[in-house]
Amino acid sequence: MEELLEKLRKKIKETRAGGGAKELEKQKSSGKKTARERIDLLLDKESFHELDPFVTSRCQDFGMDRRKFPGDGVVSGSGRIDGRLVFLVSQDFTIMGGTLGEMQANKIAACQDLAIKNRRPFIQILDSGGARIQEGVLALNGYGHIFRRNSLASGLIPQISIMAGPTAGGAVYSPALTDFVFMVEGIGRMFITGPEVIKQVTGEEVSFEELGGARIHNEVSGVAHFALPTEEECFSYVRKLLSFLPANCYELPPVSRSPQDQEAPDENIEALIPVSSEEVYDIKEVIHRIVDHQDFLEVQAFFAPNAVIGLARLAGKVVGIVANQPLIMAGVLDIDSSDKIARFVRFCDAFNIPIINLVDVPGYLPGTDQEHKGIIRHGAKILYAYSEATVPKISLILRKAFGGAYIALCSQGMGFDYILAYPTASIAVMGAEGAVNILFRKEIREAVDSEKFRREKEKEYQEKFSHPYYAASYGLLNAIIDPRHTRQELIRVLEDLSAKKEERASKKHGIPPC
Ligand code: HXC
């Protein structure tokens, strides 16, 4: 027996050696942690339970018969984060560049299956050259197994991807199918084809970083949701994100063990929001004043910053916040912010997280650029997402709520459960200037003093719509509140809606605009 145990110990030691000392050194010198160090940093101490460590590639072609590594370039298993079970994989770049062949794919898929069957979150730490060229169609088919499981797990369990190295080719689509993509600055990169292929095909020269670094995917493409300067900070942020999420769609998000009490009215909140809608302010300052412990985990902070989305707690309970940001493009809704809001709303709904909208929005962005790029279908995503959502949906109108953006974010017709407004709220089809130009085009042209006439009509329009009482008189607002009581009011409304049940007709699935 001792002999057999010695053999087992030797085999286990081999699995820990990755691609060998030289490759491990290379990994370190390129500023990256090893696959196993990453797992240790992410999970609770000594909670990792490894799966399939002895799996190796079956490929015999292109010299692969001489390059067999136990684990086949990925470490997989289960572990705990704040005591809660998760399943995870961590690619090992020291083994053939973390590339994915048939057996690596089987390992990842087996781990996904366990996450799905046990209804527990799935996390993947990626560092890979993509499909292992030597394994041809078996590698490509392997991605098929992973993508299908990502799709089937969507909305069932939270799925999180961490880009901690290159993720090339097929390796990028699994993250794109997951709920949150984290990128470590300077090392995390995502691209379908690398700079060399791009140069060959199009003649274009681009660096890895400019092609698919953390900045590009967080600011420009919208593929990623978070960018963190170091791996340590990244893993700690992933842990924080998970603290807001339930393990699956059948559970409620964890309630905080240290909720903040409903304290006295906030005398300072009013000063943050100028009465004149011409003046701007930072909605994030308002959010911080409202939520527990000023703790707001912003999602996609750098993409479409004219909308702000993220997770927070109110009296200990998790909420999803969707807000317009008057500081950027007056908080207007455009293509990117529509995509950003719609996806977040669907995420919150899937995982039983009530949604609170903080509305101050002049409408959908006009212009040929937006029209031709499809603001109609992108804007429709928000309508679809809110209509589909059955979690409590609360809207607070701070100032402007105009046109299509009013319908999308705070109209009773769209099925919001509770709509509140500040006395500064103004609800209209459009702003006074635009409305008067349309309604009185002929009269303005023919008036003796066109400017005076226009001003009078604008004043008339504003008197009718630049307050919340017109909408309230039709029952389209449920309460007009003193801004100083915002936090208390929202907590009360959340309590009123805490047992909300809303059924939908059974069907195979809807067909959201995309
Ligand atoms: C096989 C690969 C590989 C691949 C890298 N390697 N990519 N082996 N298949 N796809 C190997 C390298 O040959 C090398 O092996 C080891 O991994 C480390 O790679 P290096 O190039 O030395 O490392 P580095 O300089 O850090 O560059 C990493 C890299 C680069 C940026 C990932 O290797 C690269 O550009 N690889 C190709 C990426 C790519 O185009 N993938 C797409 C595959 S097609 P040795 O033995 O020397 O250590 C695909 C199909 C799906 O995925 C497409 C759907 C859209």
Domains and CATH numbers, the chain: 33-242 (3.90.226.10), 269-425+468-496 (3.90.226.10), 431-466 (no CATH)
Contact at 8 Å (CB) between 436 and 450?
no
How far, in Å, is the centroid of ligand 1 from the Cα of 97? 6
Centroid of ligand 1 to alpha carbon of 224 (angstroms): 22
- What is the distance in A from the centroid of ligand 1 to the CA of 215? 22
Residue carrying structure tokens 């509770």: 418
pTM comes to: 0.95
Beta carbons of 119 and 153 less than 8 angstroms apart: no
165 lines ligand 1 (CB under 6 A): no
Pocket lining: 101 vs ligand 1, CB cutoff 6 Å: no
Q: Pairing between strand 393-402 and 418-421?
A: parallel
pLDDT value of residue 493: 98
| Nearest-CA residue for atom 25 of ligand 1 | 97
CA 199 to chain centre: 32
User: For ligand 1, is residue 105 a contact (CB within 6 Å)?
Assistant: no
Q: Which residues lie below 8 Å from residue 124, measured CB to CB, with a gap of 6+?
A: 88, 89, 90, 91, 108, 159, 160, 161, 162, 174, 175, 178
Ligand 1 atom with minimal separation from the 132 CA: 9
Q: Evaluate: CB of 32 within 6 angstroms of ligand 1.
A: no
Residues 453 and 444 sit within 8 Å (Cβ to Cβ): yes
Cβ–ligand 1 distance for 468 under 6 Å, the answer no
pLDDT value of position 431: 83
CB contact at 8 A, 477 and 420: yes
With tokens 């407004």, the residue in question is 421
pLDDT for 132:
95
Distance from the CA of 136 to the center of ligand 1, in angstroms?
13
pLDDT of residue 264: 82
Ranges in the chain, pLDDT < 70:
262
C-alpha 154 to ligand 1 mean position (Å): 28
- Decide: 132 in ligand 1 pocket, CB within 6 A: yes
How many whole angstroms from 158 Cα to the centroid of ligand 1?
A: 29
Closest ligand 1 atom, residue 169 Cα: 52
Strands (E) located in 250-306: 297-299
Q: Whose CA is nearest to atom 5 of ligand 1?
A: 129
Tell which atom from ligand 1 comes closest to the C-alpha of 143: 51
Cα 11 to middle of ligand 1, angstroms? 27
Atom 47, ligand 1: which residue's CA is nearest?
96
Residue among 66, 91, 95, 96 to mutate when testing ligand 1 (max atoms within 8 A of CB): 96
Q: Are 56 and 102 in contact (CB under 8 A)?
A: no
- Closest atom of ligand 1 to CA, residue 196: 35
Closest residue by Cα to atom 6, ligand 1, is: 97
Q: Is the CB of 18 under 6 A from ligand 1?
A: no
Q: What is the pLDDT of residue 463?
A: 86
Nearest atom (ligand 1) to Cα of 128: 32
Residue positions annotated with a catalytic role: 169-170, 404-405
With the most atoms of ligand 1 within 8 angstroms of its CB, the residue from 28, 30, 99, 167 to mutate is: 99
Judged on CB neighbours under 10 Å (0-12, 13-18, 19+), 205 is: exposed
CA-nearest residue, atom 16 of ligand 1: 97
- Per-residue CA distances from 510 to 161, 229, 387, 388 (Å): 26, 39, 11, 9
